[in-house]
Amino acid sequence: MFAIAYYVVSMIRCTTVKKETAPNQVKRREMTDFTNYNVDFKTPEDTKVEMCKIIQSTHLNKYGHLSSGQLLKWVDISACLAAEKLAGRPCVTLSVDDLYFEDKVHVGEIISLVSGVNRAFNTSMEVGVEVKKENDDGTRKLICCAFLTFVAINGAGKKVKLPPFQFKSSSEKACFTLAEERRRVRIAHSKTMKVLLDSYEDSNHPCASDIRRKVVKGLCTRVESVELVLPQHANHHGNTFGGQIMEWMEGISSISAVRFAKGAIALRSVDMIHFRGPSQVGDRIVLRALVNHATRNSIEVGVRVEAYNCENGNMGEIRHINSAFFIFESTLTLPLLDPTGTEDGTRRHREAIARAKIRLDRRYILSSQRVEKLSVKLNRSNVMYLRLNNLSCLSDLASKSDWKNVSNDENLTLSTREQNGVLFFKVSKKLSSSRVTDFHAFNILSNPLVRKNWDPLMISCEKLSKDIGEDDCVFRTMMRSGMNDDDDKKNEFILLYSHRKPTRKGDSYIIAMRSVVSEDDHNKDGDNYNRMEVACAGFIIHQDPGQNTEISYYNETNPKMVRYVTSDVAGFSKLYSVVYSKMEKYLIDSI
């Protein structure tokens, strides 16, 4: 629970970072060139919004806790205010990423919601929201973190281009970079689901002890309800707030879950929600819910939302607004679900199992900043999250401000930092030749197959998997720990390389690496190698206008490597200086 909290907090912490300079005023609204440095722009700090709420009895559910529907509504309002601070015009909720509720909130407690834009794309932007409750002793506890996508719209409900937006601090930069990666995950979400379903095999047979459990027909959990959209449910253009729809969905899904569980339940998480189309004041919103899947202690309820208008005496077209999936937990053993009672029950049951797998993959991988077993088996359903984890670990490491500069040598700086007992190191080299551009360095360094040409520590490298996206690939590399360890067993790494070009002028190139277990990993010579694992490593390549390219390599030490790092730190050896000089020479020679 806390691992994911740590991860997500680090992801959205740019919303709470103190501003370095006074807010910029946006003078030109209709900007077309975001790469132009001569224009004013807004920063994450300019979009920051804080909301504080004291929990009253009207906010509670029947168990005496803050209703999750109410919380979802506040999250959406708070995020919308941040989005509109950037856009300077109305914004609508397009999507909400998976949400986890980490703790309950009780009457009289105070919660704070801090929101801010992490990144603006063209017409859409990512907003991060952090919800914490304040304890009596002044400490704060995380309740949930959310990432929402908003689109700026005009009076006719059409999307419009956003004004320029730029990060200032290094932590804002990390959020900015990762927002692009999370966007990829969102856009690929339905495809990921389809891929998983295609490869799904039903192995979910009840076990012997299940025979004693009561069976509930899926159809018995069906709920239908209608709501009329009133002015208080909408913004001043008459568009229904996404948070209002979410509150209604949470309400109906909990009725369905209670019908199934016949006991106390609590909302644990919500799958990614996508608002397919708008609804307005006067619309009728029809919500239908049903339990799709249940395990011993958890229930997935699906909700379908449709809207129609019956102005002028005619029932207008029925529009599918969205579909969402809510996961409830119970401390009691739940009944068995018989999904076959509804027409689509078996299919939905099957899809719910696939969603449960995606949820587990996502939560496990995204929270595994550092876990005992680092390598995760890479497959088609978790590749999106592994890529995101890969890039987020490196961006997060690079954005830390507590790096200690431990040695300087001919444009090469060695720095270290410690976190939770792990020593990380960074080697930064400013290239002496201005002929090596950041783009050229990126092309060379992102291809580990040519690394042997410049890195004396590399013994061999082979590509293991087919490309799993344009910018990601798995390689097996054999490395020496140091220059003179020929007697040692060699170190074998199976690494996912994720490389990204900057989307805007002035940003950095990133090449992130982390250990994975590949489906194509058939090493029969295991006895002659140490299988090594690395949670976070990679290059960040940057070039300021008129300046030489700077290459920074980040890595965490492992027991084999640490002696070489500490020797360099102490000045006994110059391993990194040698390696990086060879790299520079190769970069120049290969122009």
Which residues make up the interface to ligand COA (CB under 6 A)?
Answer: 92-95, 121-124, 149, 151, 153, 159, 183, 186-187, 239-240, 242, 245, 274-275, 277-279, 321
Compute the least distance from the CB of residue 17 to ligand COA, in Å: 24
* Beta carbon nearer to ligand COA, 239 or 416: 239
Nearer to ligand ADP, 213 or 222 (CB): 222
Mark the segment that binds ligand ADP (CB under 6 A) among 142-150, 299-307, 430-438, 453-461.
299-307
Counting contacts by CB under 6 A, is residue 302 touching ligand ADP?
Answer: yes
Give the one entry of ligand COA, ligand ADP, none that residue 449 binds, where binding means its C-beta sits below a cut-off of 5 to 8 angstroms depending on kind: none
Nearest approach, Cβ of residue 189 and ligand ADP (Å) = 14
- Two structure tokens written together for 346: 């078996």
For residue 35, the one-letter residue type is T
Q: Which residues contact 68 (CB under 8 A, 6 or more apart)?
A: 61, 101, 250, 267
- Residue 576's closest CA among 397, 398, 403, 408? 408
- How many angstroms separate the CA atoms of 490 and 528, rounded? 7
Q: Does position 303 bind ligand ADP by CB under 6 A?
A: yes
Residues of span 486-515 touching ligand ADP by CB under 6 A = none
Residue 279's binding partner among ligand COA, ligand ADP, none (Cβ under 5 to 8 angstroms by kind) is ligand COA
Identify which range of 49-57, 285-293, 434-442, 497-505 contacts ligand ADP by CB under 6 A. Answer: 285-293
Amino acid at 194: K
Side chain identity, residue 253: S
- Contacts of residue 589, defined as CB under 8 A and 6 or more positions apart, other chains included, come to none
Q: Which does 363 bind (CB under 5 to 8 A by kind): ligand COA, ligand ADP, none?
A: none
**Residue 269 region by backbone torsions, left for phi larger than 0, else alpha for psi between -120 and 50, else beta:** beta
Exposure string for 188-214, b = 16+ CB within 10 A, e = fewer: ebeebbebbeeeeeeeeeeeeeeeeee
* Beta carbons of 159 and 152 less than 8 angstroms apart: yes
What x/- string results for residues 5 through 34 when contact with ligand ADP is judged by CB under 6 A? ------------------------------
Give least dist CB 46 to ligand COA, A: 19
Smaller CB separation from ligand ADP, 342 or 590 = 342
Nearer to ligand ADP, 225 or 523 (CB): 225
Interacting span for ligand ADP (CB under 6 A) from 41-49, 141-149, 275-283, 301-309: 301-309
Residue whose C-alpha is closest to residue 552's, from 533, 525, 576: 576
The minimum distance between CB 97 and ligand COA, in angstroms, equals 9
Residue 240 binds: one of ligand ADP, ligand COA, none (C-beta under 5 to 8 A by kind): ligand COA
Q: Which is nearer to ligand COA, 7 or 147 (CB)?
A: 147
Evaluate whether 380 touches 227 at the Cβ level (below 8 Å).
no
* Choices 80-88, 302-310, 353-361, 461-469; region in contact with ligand ADP by CB under 6 A: 302-310
Q: Is 323 in the site for ligand ADP (CB under 6 A)?
A: yes
Neighbours of 542 (CB within 10 A): 19
Minimum distance, C-beta of residue 253 to ligand COA, in the bound complex (Å): 17
Place of tokens 């949470």: 250
CB of 306 to ligand ADP, least distance (A): 9
Q: How far is the CB of 63 from ligand ADP (least distance, A)?
A: 23
* Size of the residue set binding ligand ADP (CB under 6 A): 11
Q: Rounded to whole angstroms, how far apart are CA atoms 195 and 427?
A: 40
Neighbours of 428 (CB within 10 A): 20
Name the nearest CA neighbour of 367 among 566, 179, 98.
98
Copy the structure tokens of residue 240.
Answer: 């229904």
Sole window of 43-51, 300-308, 371-379, 472-480 interacting with ligand ADP (rule: CB under 6 A): 300-308
Among 213, 274, 284, 304, binds ligand ADP (CB under 6 A): 304
List the one residue from 348, 359, 362, 387 that touches ligand ADP (CB under 6 A): 348
Where does residue 170 rank: exposed (0-12), middle (13-18), buried (19+ CB within 10 A)?
middle
* Burial class, 522, CB count within 10 angstroms (exposed 0-12 / middle 13-18 / buried 19+): exposed
Which of 70, 171, 269, 292 lies at the binding interface for ligand ADP (CB under 6 A)?
A: 292
Residue 242 interacts with, from ligand COA, ligand ADP, none (CB under 5-8 Å by kind): ligand COA
- By a kind-dependent CB cut-off of 5 to 8 A, residue 369 interacts, out of ligand ADP, ligand COA, none, with none
Of 29 and 320, nearer to ligand ADP (C-beta) is 320
Strand partners for 131: 113, 144
Rounded to the nearest 5°, which phi and psi values hold at 118?
A: -90, -35
CA atoms within 13 A on the CB side of 396: 21
The whole-angstrom separation of Cα 279 and Cα 308 is: 8
Nearer to ligand COA, 303 or 513 (CB): 303
Show Cβ contacts of residue 346 under 8 Å, excluding neighbours closer than 6 positions. 339, 340
Interacting partner of 302 out of ligand ADP, ligand COA, none (Cβ under 5 to 8 A depending on kind): ligand ADP
- Going from the C-alpha of 515 to that of each of 235, 378, 479, 484, the distances in angstroms are 47, 10, 14, 25
Of residues 114 through 173, those in contact with ligand ADP by CB under 6 A are none
Residue 451 token pair: 């690394």
Tell me whether residue 93 or residue 115 sits nearer to ligand COA (CB atom).
93
What single string gives the DSSP state of each residue in 429-441? EE-S-TTS-HHHH
Joined tokens for residue 525:
């010579």
What is the residue type of 80? C
Measured from the CB of residue 178, what is the shortest distance to ligand COA in angstroms?
14
Q: Shortest approach of ligand COA to residue 322 CB, angstroms? A: 7
CA distance 350 to 348: 5
Strand partners, 147: 128
User: Whose Cβ is closer to ligand COA: residue 258's or residue 358's?
Assistant: 358
The least CB distance from residue 260 to ligand ADP, in Å, is 12
Mask: binding to ligand ADP, 214-243, rule CB under 6 A, as x and -? --------x---------------------
DSSP for residue 572? S
The verdict on 344 binding ligand ADP (CB under 6 A) reads: yes
Residues at the contact surface with ligand ADP, assessed by CB under 6 A: 222, 288-290, 292, 302-304, 323, 344, 348
